[in-house]
């Protein structure tokens, strides 16, 4: 699945790389006993705008592959990690909930509110892997697993 991005996302990618590598004008030297290695996944703040955008791509993938009449929307990003490998690979643990918006009527999740009718409410726990390659303007979601929470 390929999605076009604006040029501003490329600029954001450069800023993301800058923040992940920790450079601030001078050369960055990894301490000799550091556990951080290039290419290893690192935790990232779940409120990070890039994490939220990657999560939304995972939700779009779920909505496009489900046969539910209603759209689902992310309710909580529980854990997020990012790995820098030929772009950015986000590994996301997310809770999504059914909204009041029917698939045939809405295309934007931003205006959709969560379902209020008790018998229509549904929450799923999902794991998404979202690969973003800004210089080619592509997004791939090779992993999108969702399941209903069975705990009371």
pTM recorded for the entire structure? 0.73
pLDDT of residue 37: 60
Answer for the pair 89, 82: CB distance below 8 angstroms, yes or no.
yes
Q: DSSP characters for 41-64? A: -EE--TT-HHHHHHHHHHHHHHHH
Q: Which two tokens stand for residue 125?
A: 């726990």
pLDDT in the model for residue 85 = 87
Count of the separate structural domains present in the chain: 1
- Residue 74, in any domain of the structure: yes
Those residues of the chain that have pLDDT short of 50 are: 1-31, 34
Residue 62 resides in a domain: yes
Range of the domain at 107: 45-148
């Amino acid at each position: 699945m390929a999605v076009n991005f604006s040029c501003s996302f490329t600029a954001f990618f450069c800023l993301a790389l800058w923040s992940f590598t920790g450079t601030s004008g001078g050369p960055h030297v990894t301490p000799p006993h550091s556990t951080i290695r290039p290419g290893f996944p690192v935790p990232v703040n779940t409120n990070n705008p890039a994490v939220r955008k990657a999560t939304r791509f995972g939700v779009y993938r779920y909505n496009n592959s489900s046969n539910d009449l209603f759209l689902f929307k992310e309710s909580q990003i529980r854990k997020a990690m990012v790995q820098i490998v030929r772009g950015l690979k986000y590994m996301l643990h997310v809770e999504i909930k059914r909204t009041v918006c029917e698939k045939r009527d809405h295309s934007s999740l931003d205006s959709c509110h969560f379902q209020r009718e008790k018998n229509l409410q549904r929450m799923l726990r999902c794991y998404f892997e979202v690969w973003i390659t800004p210089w080619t303007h592509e997004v791939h979601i090779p992993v999108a697993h969702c399941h209903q929470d069975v705990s009371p």
